[in-house]
Amino acid sequence: MVRVLKPDGLLIACLTRRLAPGMIVHLKWRTHWVTPAQVESWLLESGLENTQRLSFGDRAFCQRLSLAFVGRKPRLAGVRKDDKSTGEPAQKNKNDGLSKLSSLV
């Protein structure tokens, strides 16, 4: 999945938690169930940076069954995003997308 992301793109991964309630989903849809440590290591090994685990908030049932992670593909070396109007580097916080995404979940 990381190969098809454009540089600076976000990857959102929703997975089945490796606990007894997650086994229901695993048996019904034949998904793989994982631990948070496994997911984080997979994302880091694939080359993503700024990986974060997202919370489902007060949705307790979802929290027991699922894990949600987000990571960002690094920019290519030597490539800068420029502001088209001034030619200056764009002043954008790299974590803007992550914070917006966190507020949605």
Tokens 């994302």, located at residue: 43
Output the pLDDT for position 63. Answer: 76
User: What values do phi and psi take at 13, rounded to 5?
Assistant: -120, 125
Reference 33, options 67, 71, 59, 60; nearest CA is 67
What is the mean pLDDT, run by run of 10 residues, along the chain of 105 residues? 85 85 79 86 92 81 82 77 49 52 51
Q: 88 Cβ partners below 8 Å, 6+ apart? A: 82
Output the pLDDT for position 78. Answer: 56
Output the pLDDT for position 86. Answer: 47
Output the pLDDT for position 83. Answer: 43
Reference 54, options 100, 3, 7; nearest CA is 100
